[in-house]
Amino acid sequence: MKKTIFRLFFLFTILSTLWCCRNEEFSTEDSAQQDSYSSSTRFASKSFWKEDEVYIHKVLQVFMKVANAEHVKSRYGELYWDYAMTFGQFGEKYLLVPVVKDNRVILLMEAVREGNKVYFFEKDDKKMIDFFHAIIFSNITDYGEKTEPQTGISSRNTPTFVCSTRWITIGCTNNEPNCTPYTTSETICKWTPGTNPKTFDPIGMDDGGGGGDGYEYPDPPETEDPCTKLKAQNINANFKVKVDLLATKVGLKKETGYAESKSGVFTELSPAVSTASSDGMTVTVTPDLKGYIHTHLNDYETGKTNENGEIEINQPIRMFSPADVNTLMTMAGMVTDDNYSELYGAMVSSYGNYTIMFTGAPTDIKTGFDTQRWRDEYAAFRTRNPYWSFEKLFLNFLRYNMDVQGVELYKIKSNGTVQKKTLNSNNNVQSNDCP
């Protein structure tokens, strides 16, 4: 009996040892697989330019999570994530990844985020493909980039605005005595939705068209709506001090105002040269400008008399002017990531305090409204509509005379309520309190 018990105990000990070893083996294999997976979802950017690496990393994670590696390799090739490019676009929106087969870039995968979804498309553009091939496999001796307003076409055949152009110079090695260096460039315009291109299918089940339902994008960046921004701004102590101060200066004969940098520093604005139709401010627009706040004046005596000996009265329009809209548009034109939510133009007057914000797309950016011609047209528009409110005057002139989209008007009431001002179907002003 003792021998039997001993034998059973010995057998149990051996089995336990084997189980522990086997368990350790499984653990080691799992760890190796995890390390392999982790290394496959890492990238080290080899781009010559600054890229939106946050976006590249997230897209890579999404792709590796859903992709059938065997299908991708056989149907397309190998994705060179280290050479992925966002072409001057930030804010987690757009990406191109070169696809390589037999040491040749044969295709580009286009990754586009819309809200909480990311979509993959094929970009079969020979010139762009050659550009990526040169970057990966050629001797690059120089490179550069510039961003400028330009009409271009996205892969969805939609006109776009503001394009990033990258150029490279391809040099020669000592083994190429007859080689002549040359420069080539490629331009990408900001992507906007339009007709669907061919889907890049990482799974092997797609029909190849329409973009499907997309894939869940992790932690998409949030953009605060204007109402939320304005509520926060109105309780900001530094901003409130400036508003209260400017409210005491609406009775002067010169406008007063401040520019606010993106770091929150306020700088006093310089007055512009007075004209018969303007006593405004000069706002110097730089990429660091977040917004501006200024007064619009009450009626005042100019100190001059007309031909009848009557004292001339200047009657400023206590509402935003075409020049104010031009300043906001110029600020929007300097944004590189399509995030315009921080930008504002504010006006303090005895008629009320108002703010304009740009909520449009790059295609809505229009400038050239800071001229005497637009000041004269605005004054004449007021003369033709003497009984309209300043709000109705501005919104109708903005829509029908200036043909501007994407600029919204908000009134800041004395009790702190923020009201959005829009035109209804009859072109009368409609007021809606922000929630």
* pLDDT of 311: 85
C-alpha 109/C-alpha 77 separation (Å) is 11
pLDDT of 412 above 60: yes
CA distances from 398 to 188, 215, 311, 323, 334 (A): 31, 39, 32, 11, 21
pLDDT value at position 376?
93
Produce one character per residue of 331-346: b if its CB has 16 or more CB atoms within 10 Å, e if not.
bbbebeebebbbbbbb
- Give the model's pLDDT for residue 41: 58
Tell me the percentage of the chain whose pLDDT exceeds 70. Answer: 81
Instruction: Check residue 162 and give its pLDDT.
Output: 54
What does the DSSP 8-state code read for residue 399?
A: I
Please state the separation of Cα 348 from the chain's center in Å. 29
User: Using one digit for the tens of pLDDT, what is the confidence trace for 341-370?
Assistant: 899 999 999 999 999 999 988 888 999 999
- pLDDT at residue 34, as a whole number: 34
Reduced to 3 DSSP states, what percent helix, strand and coil does the chain have, rounded to the nearest 5? Answer: 30, 30, 40
Q: Which amino acid is at 152?
A: G
Helix ranges (DSSP H) in 170-298: 226-234, 237-247
Return d(Cα 184, Cα 133) in angstroms, integer.
Answer: 12
Residue with tokens 């959005």: 420
Computed on alpha carbons and rounded to an integer, the radius of gyration of the chain in Å comes to: 31
CB atoms within 10 A of CB 179: 13
Q: Are 317 and 280 in contact (CB under 8 A)?
A: no
Inter-residue contact 347 to 294 (CB < 8 Å): yes
Strand order in the sheet with 407-412: 266-268, 257-261, 289-295, 344-349, 352-358, 407-412, 418-423, 429-433
The pLDDT-based confidence of 274 (bands split at 50, 70, 90) is low
DSSP code at position 83: G
Burial class of residue 299, CB neighbours in 10 A (0-12, 13-18, 19+): exposed
Nearest to 295 by CA among 321, 313, 322: 321
Say whether pLDDT at 87 is over 80: yes
pLDDT at position 336 = 74
304, HSE (Cβ side, Cα atoms, 13 Å) = 7
Query: For the residues 151-166, what does the mean pLDDT come to?
Result: 48
pLDDT of residue 278: 55
Q: For 277-328, how does the pLDDT look when each residue is reduced to its tens digit (9 = 90+)?
A: 456 778 999 989 999 999 999 988 878 888 887 888 888 889 999 999 999 9
Using the predicted structure, report yes or no on whether residue 153 has a pLDDT greater than 50: no
Q: Is the pLDDT of residue 158 over 60?
A: no
Those residues with Cβ within 8 angstroms of residue 76's Cβ, 6 or more apart along the chain or in another chain? 99, 101, 106, 107, 109, 200
* pLDDT tens for each residue of 364-396: 899 999 999 999 999 999 999 999 999 999 999
pLDDT at 49 over 80: yes
Work out whether the CA dihedral 358, 360, 362, 363 comes out positive or negative: negative
329: helix, strand or coil: helix
The CA-atom distances, in angstroms, between 129 and each of 84, 132, 134 are 12, 5, 9
> Coil, strand or helix: which one is 256?
coil
For 196-203, what is the mean pLDDT?
A: 84
First to last CA, the chain: 84
Is the pLDDT at 256 greater than 80, yes or no? Answer: yes
Mean pLDDT value of segment 420-435: 94
Give CA–CA dist 322/398, Å, rounded.
8
* Res 7: pLDDT: 52
